[in-house]
Amino acid sequence: MNMMNYIFMTIFFIGLIVFSLARKHLLLTLFSLEFLVLILFLALFMFLLKFGYELYFILIFLVFSVCEGALGLGVLVNMIRSHGNDLLSSLSPLTW
């Protein structure tokens, strides 16, 4: 494996660690998910470019990632309107 693959894997695992540790606020969780999507996009783009494949799949991947981001922002806005904050602990029905 070349050096670029190791860099992408390292950055991806750092993003997974941040995703697993950022469980207090929904906004931090969404940021870490977007970071993971961007790293996957770059890795997929480099892979397809390296082997000379068509880049239509990249367009489909970007459409789905934008839909995921819009859905996450919608959930965040709905949560802030209903609960007043973005704390994930306020979603638990046991803490009422």
Q: Is the pLDDT confidence value at 96 over 60?
A: no
Residue range 12-36, pLDDT digits in tens: 999 999 999 988 888 898 999 999 9
Distance (Å, whole) CA 39 – CA 9: 9
Contact indicator for 46, 2 with CB cutoff of 8 Å: no
* pLDDT the model gives residue 26: 86
Residue range 57-77, pLDDT digits in tens: 999 999 999 999 999 999 989
Distance (Å, whole) CA 93 – CA 89: 9
pTM: 0.83
Q: Which residues pair with 25 in a beta bridge?
A: 87
Helix (H, G, I), strand (E, B) or coil at 92: coil
* CATH number for region 3-87: 1.10.287.3510
Distance (Å, whole) CA 46 – CA 51: 9
